[in-house]
Amino acid sequence: MSDDDFIDLRSDTVTTPSEEMREAAATAEVGDDVYRDDPTVNELERRAADAVGTEAALYVPSGTMANQIAVHVHTEPGQELLLERESHIYRWELAGAAKLSGVQTRTIDAGDRCVPTPDAVREGLVDEDLHRPGTGLLSLENTHNYRGGIAVPVDRIAAAAEAARDADVPVHLDGARVFNAAVALGVDASEIVAPADSVTFCLSKGLGAPVGSILAGDEAFIEDARRVRKLFGGGMRQAGMIAAPGLHALGNVDRLAEDHASAERLAAGLDALDGVDAPAPDTNIVVAHTEDAGIPAESLYVACKDAGVGCVEFDDYATRFTTHLDVDEADVDEAVERIADVVDDLRD
Ligand SMILES: *Cc1c(COP(=O)(O)O)cnc(C)c1O
């Protein structure tokens, strides 16, 4: 199989930069961003802050770094970080909160739709006393990656955040795909972000930039975050070269609806296969459950790869397929056909 023929649905991070992005990188006006001399980075930070309705923003190499900087700025070593038990920060960031910021994590079970209730938040909050460290931060996630790109409604996020703020605990939103949530919910991203003190979003996922994420919040928070970015090794020099495609990526928000439509089409195609359960997604992430077909995710993943479809093992019997800028409807239909053959071969 030629590389061209491979339909890569592993993640929306696999997109390659468009001609416009390459051109923008080549011609970007640059300077030393550690001295804050890079006009392209400065413009990106301004436009990114506008896009989520915050005072300020900081350009960082990755979503993971944005989240870890937020944890570091909001907390003191020895405090607790309260977050959902399937959240990215808890599951997939190498225990960074413990290693980089010395905080202990406490998890909330927010159910399959990942809607943390105010009561669950209140139960999870810990007051500082002789025996207990106190909660330093509540972190929420929207869209929720592991739950299959769920777009958590604005009022639910706001209610959970309010429970924390009532206890003087700040709130971070891991909005790696916050624009997918905004498009799916039909609201402006700033509405989703408003209840939080800080937000992470990725330029390098559905928005299609080759690299980079944003951490946004008020000016005082971003000033602290800039120091922590340096501490974590994320201070960059002529970063306008990579920030310029990020500016183009901000123009890709509205078209995320196309990825959601392809994902719905993909889920419907997979769900129609015998023994496969693929619920209709809110956004661009489809999770296919293959327990009834007796197909472990590991086998499905390997066979799909051989058949020319990239996916990600999520759990024993759950496999993730993600749509993005570089796949169209025809690719999705072709992927469903290939996966159908694979499932037929593997079924008990
Ligand atoms: C991808 C992702 C991140 C991390 O972003 P990277 O740029 O891959 O480090 C954080 N949170 C969520 C919810 C994500 O999906």
Average pLDDT over residues 21-42: 98
> Is the minimum distance from the CB of 202 to ligand 1 under 6 angstroms?
yes
The pLDDT tens digits for 89-128 are 999 999 999 999 999 999 999 887 888 899 999 999 999 9
> Is the minimum distance from the CB of 68 to ligand 1 under 6 angstroms?
no
The pLDDT tens digits for 327-338 are 999 999 999 999
Strand partners, 172: 139, 198
pLDDT at position 159 is 96
**Mean pLDDT for all residues in the chain:** 96
The pLDDT confidence band at residue 295, using thresholds 50, 70 and 90, is very high
CA of 66 to the centre of ligand 1 (A): 9
> Is the minimum distance from the CB of 322 to ligand 1 under 6 angstroms?
no
CA-proximal residue: ligand 1, atom 8 (nearest): 63
| 301 CB neighbour count, 10 Å cutoff | 20
Percentage of the chain beyond pLDDT 70 is 99
CA of 304 to the centre of ligand 1 (A): 24
- C-alpha to C-alpha distance for 22 and 112, rounded to whole angstroms: 40
Average pLDDT over residues 165-188: 98
> Is the minimum distance from the CB of 142 to ligand 1 under 6 angstroms?
no
pLDDT at 1 over 80: no
The pLDDT confidence band at residue 82, using thresholds 50, 70 and 90, is very high
> Is the minimum distance from the CB of 174 to ligand 1 under 6 angstroms?
yes
Average pLDDT over residues 14-25: 97
pLDDT at position 347 is 86
pLDDT at position 185 is 98
Angstrom distances, CA of residue 118 to CA of 18, 133, 157 = 43, 21, 9
Helix extents (H) in the chain: 19-27, 39-52, 63-74, 88-91, 96-101, 118-124, 154-166, 178-185, 189-193, 219-231, 240-249, 256-271, 297-307, 329-346
Residue 38's Cβ-side half-sphere holds a number of Cα atoms within 13 Å equal to: 21
CA of 67 to the centre of ligand 1 (A): 8
Is the pTM here over 0.95, yes or no?
yes
Cα Rg of the chain, angstroms? 20
Report which DSSP code applies to 280. Answer: P
- C-alpha to C-alpha distance for 285 and 134, rounded to whole angstroms: 35
Termini Cα distance of the chain: 27
Average pLDDT over residues 171-186: 98
pLDDT at position 144 is 96
pLDDT at position 155 is 95
- C-alpha to C-alpha distance for 333 and 262, rounded to whole angstroms: 9
> Is the minimum distance from the CB of 163 to ligand 1 under 6 angstroms?
no
Average pLDDT over residues 144-152: 95
CA-proximal residue: ligand 1, atom 3 (nearest): 63
- C-alpha to C-alpha distance for 306 and 65, rounded to whole angstroms: 34
pLDDT at position 2 is 54
Average pLDDT over residues 5-13: 97
> Is the minimum distance from the CB of 176 to ligand 1 under 6 angstroms?
yes
pLDDT at position 149 is 96
